Chains A and B, each alone.
Chain A
Amino acid sequence: MIQQYWLYLIYLLGSVFFIVGLKMLSGPKTARNGNFLAAAGMAIAILGTIFMHTNEDGEPIGNYGWIFGGIAIGTVVGWISAKKVKMTDMPQMVSLFNGMGGACAALISLVEFGHLHDDASPATVLTIVAGLVIGSVSFSGSIIAYAKLQEIMKKTFRLPAQNILTLVLLIATLGLTVYIALGHPSAVLLYTVFALSLAYGVLFVLPIGGADMPVVISLLNSFTGVAAAFGGFLYDNQVMLTGGILVGSAGTLLTILMCNAMNRSLTNVIFGSFGGGSAAAAGGGSA
């Protein structure tokens, strides 16, 4: 029990480091130290979880080989790719890493869905499925944003009736999410939602032009934050909740600030040429 309280203390410290780090990141003189501070908060939160976390039955974390193996692979690949990327290619790198975080949240939901008991409350199911949906949208959207900025995908695609199609997809995804939560937790439906969310992420980003991509990445960034926060709800994990929501709210504000800096509105960026392609094209060109 006392070990769990230590972990709570570590999570509290980690959360404070995140907040102070984020604050320092928004000032030019303190930004670099703020980044270090946030990284330190992350490190203690991760180490604390590995060595002190126990589940509801009081069982400690196991499978150390898998965990350290995964962390080692992720660290080496992440470090090298972050160090090697050209300065001009950094936005798409951020997008790619953001997509990884979204995919991570989605995978967590997939596994936890398999662990659900029959008596699981709708709220728990909703938490899991919402994490899956937001994480998947963030993942597929980020990958498209990456592909566009990296110029793997050069053209701006626009399907016929794009906005209507996207809207229908969104409504279908949300409707099915609620349906599953209200007592129909079948794996088939879950994978359908998974596929719909991935498709939504793709359709959401496809029509947006390259110049607006940083705004979209920032928006997807805040999505992943929210997905992480759902994980926090699922595990009663305070640091995941604080970290996730901080990014969710700060990221949303940042998205709006970025739009303002470009003299555009968020709806204008997202729905682009809704009803008038020329205005959006002109805006995108000048930004």
Chain B
Amino acid sequence: MDAIITFIGENIQLIYILILSIFVGIEVISKVPSALHTPLMSGANAIHGVVIIGAIIVMGHAEAGNWPALILGFLAVILGTLNVVGGFVVTDRMLEMFKKKK
């Protein structure tokens, strides 16, 4: 029990961000029209590509001789970038199509 309370205490700012972000996430998309469901999903998909930052940190602090870390980190950077770039470009193409239809 003490360990849990200690964890919460030490990370209280992150936990506030966590809770508030949950509400913000729900609030900002609550009025989305159904035609925008797929582009919104795709846009959100690109945003969670922010995990690339973790990959950059792993890669950036991997020691020179630590090949498993280097290779896995490198792969993670590639995959994360795919998620970000592919995600935003696909979303843009979807929305472009949306505009033409109107």
Count of A interface residues, CB-CB < 8 Å: 103
CB atoms of B84 and A78 under 8 A apart: yes
CA gap between A269 and B51 in the complex, in Å: 28
CB atoms of A101 and B80 under 8 A apart: yes
B81 CB contact (under 8 Å) in A19, A70, A218, A243: A70
Inside 8 A of A253's CB, which chain B residues have their CB? 25-26, 29-30
CB atoms of A241 and B99 under 8 A apart: no
Q: Is B1 an interface residue (CB 8 A)?
A: no
B22 CB contact (under 8 Å) in A23, A218, A235, A248: A248
CB atoms of A78 and B86 under 8 A apart: yes
Q: Is B12 an interface residue (CB 8 A)?
A: no
CB atoms of B47 and A246 under 8 A apart: yes
Interface residues of B (CB under 8 A from A): 3, 7, 11, 14, 17-18, 21-26, 28-62, 68-70, 72-99, 102
Given contacts A225-B44, A241-B17, contact A78 B55 (CB under 8 A): no
Inside 8 A of A245's CB, which chain B residues have their CB? 17-18, 21-22, 25
CB atoms of A100 and B80 under 8 A apart: yes
Interface residues of A (CB under 8 A from B): 14, 18-19, 21-23, 25-28, 31-32, 34-36, 38-39, 42, 45-46, 49-50, 53, 55, 59-63, 66-67, 69-71, 73-75, 77-79, 81-83, 85, 87, 90-91, 93-94, 96-98, 100-101, 103-105, 107-108, 110-112, 114-115, 121-123, 214, 217-218, 221-222, 224-225, 227-229, 231-251, 253-254, 257-258, 261
Nearest A residue (CB) for B4? A123
B76 CB contact (under 8 Å) in A62, A90, A108, A232: A108
